[in-house]
Amino acid sequence: MPLNAIAYETEQLAAKTSVSAPQRPIATLTDITKHYGTTVALDGLSLSLHPGEVVALLGPNGAGKSTAVKLLLGLIAPTSGTSRVFGSDPREATTRTRVGAMLQVARVTETLRVREHLDLFRSYYPHPLSVAEIFRIAQLQGIEDRFFGQLSGGQKQRVLFALAICGNPDLIFLDEPTVGLDIEARRALWQQIRSLSAQGKTVLLTTHYLEEADALAHRIIVINKGRVIRVGTPAEIKRSNGGRTIRCRTRLSLEFLQTLPSVSNVEFNEGAVVVTATDAETVVRQMLLRDETLSDLEIASPALEDAFLALTKNQ
Amino acid sequence: MATSAIAHPLPAVTGFIHTLRIFGKETKYEFLKLMRTRSFSLSTIGFPVMFYVLFGIANRNAFTGNIHIAKYMLGGYACFGLIGAALFGIGVGLAGELAAGWLELKRASPMPVPAYLFAKCASAVAFGLIIVCILTAIAVSVGGVSLTSTELIKMLGMTIVGSISFASMGLLLALVIPANAATGIVNLIYLPMSFLSGLWMPLRFMPHWLQSVAPALPTYHLSQLMLSIFGYGDAISLATHWNALLGFTLVMLGLSWLIFHRKEQNA
């Protein structure tokens, strides 16, 4: 009986540049509490960002991600605790000359041309990138003289990205940067983010696309209800959910499968058996030995989604 | 474990010239943006011009006592125009940018907030001057109005003062009014206020009980200061009018500052 085995692996695109041994952080939030009236947005939150790393900040809506980002950008002040960027208070204008941000903006001035938007934002920074360089990085060739209001959704996102990097900042905040982009544009932006990291710059990314966090981040910080609940590499976070899943049609009983080594969960799902085990190879070897009629075999790496949902559900 | 971040050497405070450049570019692009927004530029410039052509020119030979009606109306509509430019340009424009998150993006950048406010104010002044110049040109050429160069210079100066004063009101309105209601609410404030201050029709033609509202309105005081350049002012002393306008401006600025800070706390 031919075996139909399909192995899925989370895509590893161009390898993430390795980050050298932990260096001193360039930005920190230390023991932050932030109250809005009676609402507690952040409750004893601490995090740090290091040079050259891409950090993904994940959390359900209302977890406090935007508040944390606003604190680092100096847009708001904490109720208690300290926020430091490049050793200084982010509320000072001089600190912001090394920072760039791409935020979600409902409406950007539509009657200014792309070139004019860039001219204005570049003037804020002491050592901005050249206009040609910005056009190249953000792929704005051909639309430099268009009015912002005439651009497509994807082009508008690229302009906002250009505004974030035009000052050649060392720390960049990207808030849902690939929303509304098609696959090609998303992959192109991921490439740009990786090259920023390769230049030693730090990127803090908030996103709801867990695939994006998985593909880009050196570290993931999961927050919920105003606190950090897990920090780790994508692999560490995925592993914390208990191994890989083996899915197949088999005549082996669920009780037997439970007894196999490293199996943490067995269940029936749409006519197939789904076994969760940390040592998938051993379990599959045992199953194949005992059941020649086993078919439709799929082995899936743990999904970041599942780990994330498990983490935030338990709070 | 809290590791303290290295104090990276930050660039020395950017020079005065650099800041000046930012102010200049911010103003240039704010003005360009307003000019290109046809719904704003055409109506802000068009309405006072249209009203003046309709009502003022017709009165080119009309006099009451020493007052040349066409010239009186020039003063009135000049005020009407410059106030509209300030309230709509800033009141509506800033409200929109605040609501859309655009102002937040600019505040996250090294842009100094005074540059942003200056740009808005300077653009309001620029529009005010454009409107007054066009009205004056029409008045002198077709309206039979005679204007000495001193009067003209004083008019332009008063335009600048009035624009700045009502820019502060625009700022307060932008902070207080929800963005999608902004145009409507600004109209509801601007039009009655202009009418009751005698900008369209001299106060003496209105019932007494309506006339008594005027001294409470900043638009009235601005128009009296403008008309007094031609010697057409009322019996109240100039000093009172100046104090009223200045007081109004300070109140607008003070309230704006308070509300902005309260918004920041609750952002």
Say what the ipTM of the complex is: 0.87
| pLDDT score, position B48 | 95
| pLDDT score, position A17 | 52
- Which residue of A lies nearest to B6 if distances are taken between CA atoms? A87
| pLDDT score, position A279 | 84
- Choose among B7, B102, B110: nearest Cβ to A93: B110
Residue B147: pLDDT over 60: yes
Tell me the mean pLDDT in the region A127-154.
94
Residue B123: pLDDT over 70: yes
Tally of residues, chain A: 315
Band of the pLDDT at A13, cuts 50, 70, 90? very low
Residues 6+ apart with CB under 8 A from B80: B48, B51, B194, B199, B200
Q: Whole-angstrom Cα distance, residue A177 to residue A187?
A: 11
Tell me the mean pLDDT in the region A282-296.
91
A217: nearest Cα among A236, A243, A240: A236
Band of the pLDDT at B97, cuts 50, 70, 90? very high
Question: Which residues from A are below 8 Å from B96, CB to CB?
Answer: 107
Query: Higher confidence at residue A309 or residue A104?
Result: A104
Q: Whole-angstrom Cα distance, residue B25 to residue B112?
A: 12
Our CA angle for A161, A62, A60, nearest 5°, is 75
Tell me the mean pLDDT in the region B218-238.
91
Question: Which residues from B are below 8 Å from A97, CB to CB?
Answer: 10-11, 14, 110
- Percentage helix, strand, coil for chain B under 3-state DSSP, each rounded to 5: 80, 0, 20
CB contact under 8 A, A107 and B112: no
A40 to chain B, minimum CA–CA distance in Å?
A: 12
Question: Which residues from B are below 8 Å from A122, CB to CB?
Answer: none
Tell me the mean pLDDT in the region B87-103.
93
Amino acid at A98: R
Q: Whole-angstrom Cα distance, residue B173 to residue B186?
A: 8
- Answer whether A3's CB lies under 8 Å from A291's CB: no
Band of the pLDDT at A9, cuts 50, 70, 90? very low
Placement of tokens 């000049």 in the chain: B78
**How many Å from the N-terminal Cα to the C-terminal Cα in chain B?**
30
Question: Which residues from A are below 8 Å from B21, CB to CB?
Answer: 123
DSSP code string of B5-28:
PP-PPPPPPPPHHHHHHHHHHHHH
- Which residue of B lies nearest to A161 if distances are taken between CA atoms? B105
Q: Whole-angstrom Cα distance, residue A248 to residue A246?
A: 7
A261 to chain B, minimum CA–CA distance in Å?
A: 38
Size of interface A-B (CB pairs under 8 A): 122
Query: Directed axis angle between helix B113-141 and helix B38-51, to 10°?
Result: 30
Query: Directed axis angle between helix B218-228 and helix B182-196, to 10°?
Result: 50
- Which residue of B lies nearest to A40 if distances are taken between CA atoms? B266
Judge whether B29 is closer than 8 Å to chain A, CB to CB: yes
- Answer whether A194's CB lies under 8 Å from A17's CB: yes
- Answer whether B121's CB lies under 8 Å from B164's CB: yes
- Choose among B3, B21, B99: nearest Cβ to A48: B3
Question: Which residues from B are below 8 Å from A105, CB to CB?
Answer: 100-102, 104-105
Residue B146: pLDDT over 60: yes
| Averaged pLDDT score across all residues of chain B | 90
